[in-house]
Amino acid sequence: MKRFSTVMLVMATLTTIATVAHGQQALTKDQIIGTFKLLSFYDESVATGKRTNVFGENPRGYLILTRDERIALIHVAASREGPKSLPPTDTEAAGLFKSMLAYIGKYEIDPTPPTAAGTKIILRAEIASNPLIEGRDRGFFLRVDGDKLIFKTNPPAPSPLTGEVSTRNAISERVQ
């Protein structure tokens, strides 16, 4: 009987450790489908933890995730201004392009158990403001915190803003 109790104690301890190590339960589609408003969009240096806002202090944007695994996203800088007239000058057009990210495509929730960083999700843009991301699988971690969705790039990569190895993070809040 004592041996059985010891085995049960060890099993309970290992289960607790595994639960803490994974950090959270796997996400379901019901938790993430909907429309979300962008609250924050920043790169975070892996070495220093320093955050650099991608599109300024108060970026604007929306994210839509559907039950049939479609994603639509647009993020723009809060300071974004339209051209003075049409057509825009080359300088104005370059500024408009550099101050936005938009794509539409598919997402897939990875069935492996989540880590402390979140559940793995794969995004594949079919049409994008930057053609370099079209047709490529890009990995992210996704966590839900109340009405907020938190995306974090996986794996970290050099930031186009700072050159430091960073994670790109987007925090959005459910509006529907």
**Residues paired with residue 36 on neighbouring β-strands, in sequence order:** 63, 174
Per-residue confidence (pLDDT) for residue 45, from 0 to 100: 96
Question: What tokens does 64 get?
Answer: 């839509």
Mean local confidence (pLDDT), 38-49? 97
User: What confidence tier does 136 reach under pLDDT thresholds 50, 70, 90?
Assistant: very high
pTM of the model: 0.83
Question: Could you tell me the residue ranges of all domains in the chain?
Answer: 24-174
Between residues 20 and 38, the one the model is more confident about: 38
Q: Where are the beta strands (DSSP E) in the chain?
A: 34-45, 51-53, 60-65, 70-76, 100-109, 119-128, 137-145, 148-153, 157-158, 165-174
Question: What tokens does 40 get?
Answer: 């924050």
Distance of alpha carbon 68 from its chain centroid, rounded?
A: 19
In tens, the pLDDT along 45-55 reads: 999 999 999 99
Whether domain 24-174 has CATH 2.60.40: the reply is no
Residue 27: pLDDT over 90 = no
Residue 126: pLDDT over 60 = yes
Residue 38: name the closest of 80, 4, 7 by CA. Answer: 80
Residue 20: pLDDT over 80 = no
> Phi, psi at residue 147, to the nearest 5°?
-95, 10
Query: What is the C-alpha to C-alpha distance for residues 159 and 163, in angstroms, rounded to an integer?
Result: 5
In tens, the pLDDT along 79-114 reads: 999 999 999 999 999 999 999 999 999 999 999 999
